[in-house]
Chain A
Amino acid sequence: MPLLEVTNLRTSFHTRHGIVRAVNDVSFSLEKGDTLGIVGESGSGKSVTCYSLMRLIPQPPGRIEGGAALFGGVDLLKASPEQLSKIRGKRISMIFQDPMTSLNPYLRISEQLIEPLLIHENISRADALKRGIAALAEVGVPDAEKRIRSYPHEFSGGMRQRVMIAMALITKPELLIADEPTTALDVTVQAQILDLVKKMQRELGMAVIWITHDLGVVAGFCQRVQVMYAGRLVERATADELFQNTAHPYTRALQKSIPALQPKGAALYTIPGMPPDLSRNLEGCPFAPRCEYAQEQCKQPVELKDIAPNHATACLRVQKNEITF
């Protein structure tokens, strides 16, 4: 049985401008200890997918319209607040995009770091503090014993993200959801944070869902990748497969947009057009209006289908073997 099994997740936001279908019929599963990358541009629904799993969508305007997310026999989408409180921070933890704002400025690091322990485990403050110091040292904060008494504003961005990671992992969760945790950091720190999460994953044997828009991060870190566009999954494969046998024009376009892979001096490749307006009902392939391979047939509804073991695509023309990249 997989650790997490998501089927037909649909989340939408009811706004004044209509219903925005941010996540549309997304299904995937995750095994114990697995690393799954979710890639897509801003607004593709990758964060909303994970926020839905944690039930962090502000309601209203957000609403989880349907689907199921089985985690250890519990449907996260229908769990009671008590069940959720026991899972959040204990069995599933999350780290966020911006370490500058994800710590409470008025509380000492120690207070925030041991909070999950005090909530989820029957432990004394003194013991919790000891484990907090150990956890802080583990994520590479020097002089943890003294630094734990500092306040968030006395830490740099990279250090704060380390604190966030220590906080998320202090209860030894089975699943870590990382929502673009390196986006707000500079490049050298990004690599450190990636290595740190890798190391902790090896030690704890936890599964990781890594949300990112950076294909480079995916290549180096994830075993499996799924690409999202306009709230749907458009391609799913192992990381190697995805780069060697790309099977969706959108994934191909994303790869072509990586500046480092382009000849020096050439104009940067950008995908023409804009992502579709999700408040409109999209018939057929959502990427078709921006796709250089699009044909009349792309207006038909299309589903994610396996084209090889461990490789699925939602491109009709690839499924029919009409195009390859």
Chain B
Amino acid sequence: MSAEFPIVTQHAGEIEPGHSLWQDAWHRLRQNKLAVIGGVFVAILSLICLLAIVIAPGSYAKTNLALGATAPSSAHWLGTDILGRDMLSRILFGGCISLSVGLAATLVSVIIGVLYGAISGYLGGRVDVILMRIVDIIYSLPFVIFVILILVVFGKHIVLLFMAIGAVSWLDMARIVRGQVMSLKRQEFVEAAVALGLRKRQIILRHMIPNVLGIVAIYATLIVPSVMLLEAFLSFLGLGVQAPMSSWGTLINDGRKTMEEYPWLLIYPSLFFSLTLFSLNFLGDGLRDALDVRASKD
């Protein structure tokens, strides 16, 4: 038992260095098999996709019209599409796009959303009202029209896709963090910090943000799948990644068109996509359980 639940001994001389709530959470996360499998799967898949540039069996763009669509074989493990392009390569390169859209949106939402929400929640009053109304306004723009507007004004470019998704993905995070900070700032340790002479900026950075990171971590893992779905949706509408580049969204869309004749063009990208989403959701669930302080009491 003592290995599972480390107990800090009171005897002088044999005190272990403290276990932070983070270390405890990490410990609990490792107990959760599904979360670990999910995490490992996503990590490996990301690595392979990143390395795709080097190890991919073929180019994602090189067509071979003479070959056409072929079923999986030893030359093309996952077959080729109707233009004779190697599916495995296209899926790996597509994964690069899909995963980096997820990562970028998560970074944006963590950095902007957390700072924005913490400032809004901690300062309160008029600042809070103004900052939150801005969030409300962006929220109320219909997303698809918003993206179409951006693409129409600035032209179709992969960077703009990232920007469009980033621009909306921090809104929820800002609201969540704001709510957390508002309840945190009434706690005595914040009063104590003020009484010690800390300025507002120091309190936000040192006392507010570390305390909300648990919830931020959970929410961030849930953003990734939702953003990947969003990218798939935009690509599906023809607003996302442009050919010959691929993302899982575009691959599934292309596969859908020919699924009766060449089902593997739909099945394999969908499989990668679903497995990744499953894994991320399991990881998010595991993180939520691991970081829930109430659960840690028992």
Contacts and interface: CB of A to CB of B under 8 A. Distances in A.
Interface stretch (B39-47, B189-197, B215-223): B189-197
Contacts of B193: 104, 115
Interface residues of B, number: 30
B8 interface: yes
A143 B15 contact: yes
Contacts of B192: 94, 96, 102-103, 164, 167
- Assign chain A's interface to a size class: 35 or more
A88 B196 contact: yes
Given A101-B189, A104-B189, A142-B12, A88 B18 contact: no
Interface in B10-53: 12-13, 15, 17-22
Interface string A59-91: 010000000000000000000010011111110
Given A102-B192, A104-B189, A146 B15 contact: yes
B194 A88 contact: yes
A229 B144 CA distance: 63
Contact of A151 (B15, B18, B197, B213): B18
Contacts of B186: 58
Contact of B20 (A60, A147, A151): A151
Given A101-B187, A146-B15, A150-B18, A88 B195 contact: yes
B18 A120 contact: no
B206 interface: yes
Contact of A94 (B195, B210, B213): B195
Contacts of A56: 191, 194-195
Nearest to A58: B186
A98 interface: yes
Interface in B88-133: 125
Given A115-B198, A116-B196, A102 B206 contact: no
Contact of B196 (A60, A89, A98, A153): A89
Interface string A90-121: 10011011100111111111000001100110
B207 A119 contact: no
A18 B210 CA distance: 38
B194 to A, nearest CB: 6
A107 B210 contact: yes
A154 interface: yes
28 contacts: A54-B194, A56-B194, A86-B197, A88-B194, A88-B195, A89-B198, A102-B191, A104-B207, A104-B210, A105-B211, A107-B206, A108-B18, A108-B20, A115-B193, A116-B196, A119-B196, A120-B197, A143-B12, A143-B15, A146-B15, A146-B17, A149-B18, A150-B8, A151-B20, A151-B21, A154-B8, A164-B192, A167-B192
Which 5 residue pairs of A and B lie closest in terms of their CB atoms, listed nearest first?
Answer: A89-B197, A89-B196, A150-B18, A88-B197, A94-B195
Interface of B: 8, 12-13, 15, 17-22, 125, 186-189, 191-199, 202, 206-207, 210-211, 213
Interface of A: 54, 56, 58, 60, 81, 84-90, 93-94, 96-98, 101-109, 115-116, 119-120, 142-143, 146-147, 149-151, 153-154, 164, 167-168
